[in-house]
Amino acid sequence: MNPCILNILCLMVCIFSQVRGRVHYGYGRGKEHWGYHGEGNYDPEDWSEEYKSCGGKMQSPINIDTCDTIWDHFDHFSFHHYKQTPVHIENNGHTLKLEVDYRNHPRIKGGGLEGIYDFANLHFHWGSNSSLGSEHSIDGKFYPMEAHLVHYKSEYKDVDTAVLHPDGLAVLSVLFEVTPKDNKFLAPILKSLNKVEKAQTDEDITSSVPLRALLPRNHNKYFRYSGSLTTPTCNEAVIWTVFTTPVHISEEQLEMFRRLRTLNDSIPLTDNFRPLQEVNSRRIYRVERELELKNAIGAKIGYGGQGVDH
Ligand SMILES: [Zn+2]
């Protein structure tokens, strides 16, 4: 069977099983703000009642159907001050957020981005079990966790200004897959998790882990599309880079994330991902510099080089 048709069938099954598998806790009016499972006034399907942009046509996250991607060629990403280590950790009730000392601002350029983007924060989305957790899916496959490294275009001065512009933010998305071994680079961060178990708690940390250690080794394979913040106010201001190569994490390490609590202490901070949004007329670009090279060599020696791994 054509692999693209298989993908479509798989996607339908995945979406169906996800919808069936999610528990809707309902929500009580009178609580504050938004949430995922009743810990706020508005669950994701209702966000657009309060936050108009959440009902837009260029929302995130999306499923990336690899059969429907367009090859593109971008310059290499370059990462500056990515040796910086997180110095502050916060459970804000929606996610675990890490910040750095901004005197030496980490920043990125290249990778098809126009201009320089300054680092704002790193945060995570994860599941109550390892069959779900990521916001984006690739060919219908979800991952147990997804990290977002949020950057804003330096000419816009800060995130609040940047979200008012379609090219305001560049978010790097890192997918995680489970392996038996711990991810040693996460360990120093996880050491502080018990101090921020309750929502709206934060802690200064002395982590020895540079930001760059949290990125996948291969920065040259990724998907690119224009979308939105995945939390209210859902501004359509994000240039998304979803790295194709996952990094690893152990079940034990995921369990530490799952112990965190939301603002409603009886509701665990898990499944803090927004459901998939429609792609609509957007184009999704695919960059794989190694594959481009292989294909070029393959063409010379007479094989197609069509085998794509991701
Ligand atoms: Zn996020």
Distance 98 CA to ligand 1 centre (A): 12
CB atoms within 10 A of CB 35: 24
Is 12 a residue whose pLDDT tops 50? Answer: no
Q: Let me know: does 277 contact 62? Beta carbons within 8 Å.
A: yes
How far is C-alpha 233 from the geometric centre of its chain's CA atoms? 16
The pLDDT tens digits for 14-25 are 333 333 322 222
Confidence at 290, pLDDT banded by 50, 70, 90: low
Tell me which DSSP letter residue 246 carries: P
pLDDT of residue 269: 97
CB atoms within 10 A of CB 141: 17
Confidence at 38, pLDDT banded by 50, 70, 90: confident
Note if 94 is an active site residue.
yes
Distance 11 CA to ligand 1 centre (A): 22
Q: Which contacts of 24-33 are long-range, i.e. CB under 8 A and separated by 24 or more positions?
A: 25/267, 31/263, 31/264, 32/263, 33/232
Q: What are phi and psi of 20, to 5 degrees?
A: -65, -35
Q: What residue spans of the chain are helical by DSSP H? A: 3-21, 47-50, 159-162, 187-190, 251-258, 289-301
Is 183 a residue whose pLDDT tops 50? Answer: yes
Q: Spot the catalytic one: 37, 81, 94, 151.
A: 94
Average pLDDT over residues 241-263: 97
Compute the radius of gyration of the chain from its Cα atoms. 19
Note if 156 is an active site residue.
yes
Question: Whole-number mean pLDDT of the chain?
Answer: 86
Distance 155 CA to ligand 1 centre (A): 22
Q: Spot the catalytic one: 156, 219, 222, 225.
A: 156
Lowest-confidence pick of 173-187, 218-232, 288-302: 288-302
Is 295 a residue whose pLDDT tops 90? Answer: no
pLDDT of residue 294: 52
Question: What is the architecture of the domain spanning 49-301?
Answer: Roll (3.10)
pLDDT of residue 160: 96
pLDDT of residue 172: 98
All structural domains of the chain with their residue ranges: 49-301
Tell me which DSSP letter residue 276 carries: P
Distance 172 CA to ligand 1 centre (A): 10
Distance 95 CA to ligand 1 centre (A): 8
pLDDT of residue 30: 37
Tell me which DSSP letter residue 268 carries: B
Average pLDDT over residues 94-115: 94
